Chain A
């Protein structure tokens, strides 16, 4: 599966459109990490617990988007975008979407 953020795949022709595909996940950190991040906020620096959370969420959302594209019979996803949102305090969502296509 070719996944790109560009509108086309360099060197390959798009021969079929399969439509929008997406994947998302909403995650919470456990309370230990929340407390740790609160302490880190006193002195500044990278909040590694939250970095980890974002990385995991990104892989999860990408995986789900890819599974949707495979189910449609696509072999590439172009123009991939990520957005984040927050429903309520403590829970963050990562949402990935793109256009599933067939390339030669």
Chain B
């Protein structure tokens, strides 16, 4: 009887993770697509210096952070995958969401300054919640304003 109840709880959590977690993931991905389209005019590079032909304003540091947790269903899939080895797709989407969200938050700070070029982008990873399956990303960069038609270095 106890085993039966335990099994019921596990199945219930799997269904909850699959339905609610899946819905939240889809709406987050849709929101990322929409907001990235709004930020598409900001050029992002990881060069440490402004390319010599561009006339830029003094830069300022911009950053974005996010911690995204996995759901029960995805954790289950990842455990199955770990038995056989190979690419862990369920966590790949989680990491993609975290990185895109951190980058967007960084970009919206750049937008707040009225800037259109972001240089020296770095992604840092942290683990402030050991034991939880989560993706924790810090995206930091320097943003600047350049002439709008200047983003291609030379014709």
Contacts and interface: CB of A to CB of B under 8 A. Distances in A.
Contacts of B96: 24
Interface in B132-150: 132-135
Interface residues of A, number: 36
Given A20-B46, A87-B135, A88-B70, A28 B88 contact: yes
Contact of A90 (B82, B123, B152): B82
Contacts of A34: 82
Contacts of B55: none
Contacts of B88: 26-28, 87, 91
Given A30-B85, A85-B125, A88-B78, A16 B92 contact: no
Interface string B17-57: 00000000000000000000000000111111101000000
Interface residues of B, number: 40
Nearest to A90: B82
B153 A16 contact: yes
Closest 9 CB pairs of A and B: A30-B85, A85-B125, A88-B133, A99-B45, A28-B82, A26-B88, A90-B82, A87-B91, A20-B44
13 contacts: A19-B43, A19-B44, A22-B99, A28-B78, A28-B86, A30-B85, A85-B135, A87-B88, A87-B91, A90-B82, A93-B91, A97-B121, A97-B123
Interface of A: 7, 13-17, 19-20, 22, 24-31, 33-34, 60, 78-79, 81, 83-88, 90-91, 93, 95, 97-99
